[in-house]
Amino acid sequence: MTHIMLLTMTASFAGPATVDAAEPTIGLIGDSTVADTYGWGPAFAKRFDDRTTVLNYARNGARLDTLSKRLDELLEKKPDYVLIQFGHNDQKQYGPETYREKLTDYIERVVAAGAQPVVLSSVTRRNFGPDGKIQPRSEDVHGDLAAFSTAAGDVARKHVVPFIDLYHISVEHHNQLGPKASAAYDFDPTDKTHFSPQGAAAIAGLIIDELKVARPELARRLKRPR
């Protein structure tokens, strides 16, 4: 079952429906779960052919407000697409309503720059409860990731851009795997947020499966399985 929201309504600043550049550029912006250090971004980039450029502007510890200038730097590179994923650090500082406002600003700026935004909700943390199912973080935050996922989907719907509900996709994925198998995704035995190479590749695969529906023209840019 796909978790992507395909939006066909009109909006005052919605960009063109598709881009079919001969050598497309995909920008990534988000927090450490996307970044080059131990996020899914590098594994995502490896899935595309040599004519496709992936620019990863995600940073460890980032929130929408702290990476605003970094977004400007990315947009100066004239990407065709920008995938936006925030939430883990945002929820520690402000609630879903403020998140909506800041995410709206990102979308408007991406569209104004001539790029196509794709909004992703945050990938889940891999903390399991006694029942062997994902247990969302509720302490020391201004809302759980499910609430931020709802906010991201609402903003995407309002502004007629694709939304990949990575939060619920990843929760479902790990609930099916269970705690023992999910441990292979851990960057280290104590890190239930960041990714081992295996974990990064798996999450990148989940995103790409949804992106094939959101932006089907990009499917032609994927490397063929050996």
* pLDDT tens column, 162-201: 999 999 999 999 999 999 999 999 999 999 999 999 999 9
Does pTM surpass 0.85? yes
Provide mean pLDDT across the span 13-25: 64
Which backbone phi and psi does 198 adopt, to 5 degrees?
A: -65, -45
- Per-domain boundaries in the chain: 4-14+22-219
Query: Is the predicted pLDDT of residue 107 greater than 90, yes or no?
Result: yes
Class of domain 4-14+22-219: alpha beta
pLDDT by residue (tens digit) across 111-156? 999 999 999 999 999 999 999 999 999 899 999 999 999 999 999 9
- Angle between helix 68-75 and 96-112 (nearest 10): 20
**Mean of all residue pLDDT scores within the chain:** 92
Confidence of residue 19 (pLDDT cuts 50, 70, 90): low
Which ranges in 119-165 belong to alpha helices (H)? 145-158
How far is Cα 102 from Cα 131, in angstroms, rounded to an integer? 36
